[in-house]
Amino acid sequence: MAARRVLCNPDLVVLLWAFQPGLPRDLYDLVAECRAIATCRSYDDALYYLLPARYERSLASLKVQIADASKLELELEGDVDVSQKHLVSASALFLCEAAPAAMLAMHLLVLTLDLERLHRWLRFQSPPNVVLSSNTLDFAARCGRIEVLEYLLIIASPMRCSSRGYDAAAKYGCLPIVDRLERLGVPCTEAAIDGAALHGHLAVVAYLHGRGKPCTTLAMSGAAAKGHLEVVRYLHVHRHEGCTSWAMIGAVTGGFERTIAFLQGHRPECAPTLRPPSRPRATASSSSRARPLSAVDAELLAYLCPSAASTAQQC
């Protein structure tokens, strides 16, 4: 009878269950879902996950690149309807090739920025580094929520982010995270300013410049190709790297007339390359170029301004 009274007491039952092994139902379902997520490989052997449709909002809000299945020669296992899934590369999720389901679950929790479930998930991992790696910290930095990163840094200590996370945070304009990683002494590469400039994040570019971070000609060229005139102006005044001639080609292809005028008036690399278009959205024509694009220029243009790639290949 005494045992019956104990088991019928709701408060005591909750305390007893708190010490039972196993995952809560929602976390168990998450792991089961991750084990069931199909994978495939492209023609260049890159690994892709076919994520369920419920991740669409998180992928869109964080601008995680979703691959176009029609443009990839995919090697699918079994009967998989790709049209009902979101095709995301392992690289875009900062996952290594052999990531187990528990690690995928960890990264999907970071993707959804679900701090409450992250906290519960890590409570059931012993030790936490079973599902935590520097890739996880880098992905948290890339996703841009400072509270999630701060929590994971505490749990993962002494592990920390790498330059990959710093560069990604800069690229996507996450200035609070860039500042936090800088204060932690995490290094960055030229890709930090280059990526921030490409995406028009002037505050991040200025912050990194103020701390003596390096960049390449990709910074000004990418900003010009995307029409970020204020970034182009800032780099022109404060940096010495300059740009390449295809910056003008990208600006012309995009129809960014003010950027075109600035490049012609201030950048000797661009002045003889192309004439400005007669109307917005004009593209480079055979009469508006002084020389053919080099192979390097064409590759860089395709990277920073995909819409201009076909035009560039004809030059």
In a domain, 309, yes or no: yes
In a domain, 235, yes or no: yes
| 160-176 per-position pLDDT tens digit | 999 999 999 999 999 99
In a domain, 238, yes or no: yes
213 alpha carbon, distance to own chain's centre: 20
Q: What is d(CA 223, CA 250) in angstroms, rounded to the nearest whole number?
A: 9
In a domain, 108, yes or no: no
Among 23-32, 79-88, 194-203, 274-283, the minimum mean pLDDT is found in 274-283
Between strands 75-76 and 39-41, the pairing is antiparallel
In a domain, 229, yes or no: yes
Give Dmax (Cα) for the chain: 96
Helix, strand, coil proportions of the chain in percent (round to 5)? 55, 5, 40
In a domain, 32, yes or no: no
Instruction: Please report, for the domain that includes residue 299, its CATH number.
Output: 1.25.40.20
Q: Give the three-class secondary structure for 48.
A: strand
In a domain, 133, yes or no: no
| 58-90 per-position pLDDT tens digit | 999 998 888 877 666 666 655 566 666 789 999
Give the mean pLDDT of 184-202: 97
| Number of domains present in the structure of the chain | 1
Among 114-118, 248-252, 268-272, the minimum mean pLDDT is found in 268-272
Average pLDDT, the chain: 82
The tokens describing 165, both together, are 């996370």
For position 55, what pLDDT does the model report? 93
283, pLDDT greater than 60: no
Range of the domain at 274: 190-315
Q: In what order do the strands lie in the sheet with 39-41?
A: 75-76, 39-41, 47-51, 86-89
In a domain, 304, yes or no: yes
The tokens describing 257, both together, are 């007339």
Q: What is d(CA 297, CA 102) in angstroms, rounded to the nearest whole number?
A: 42
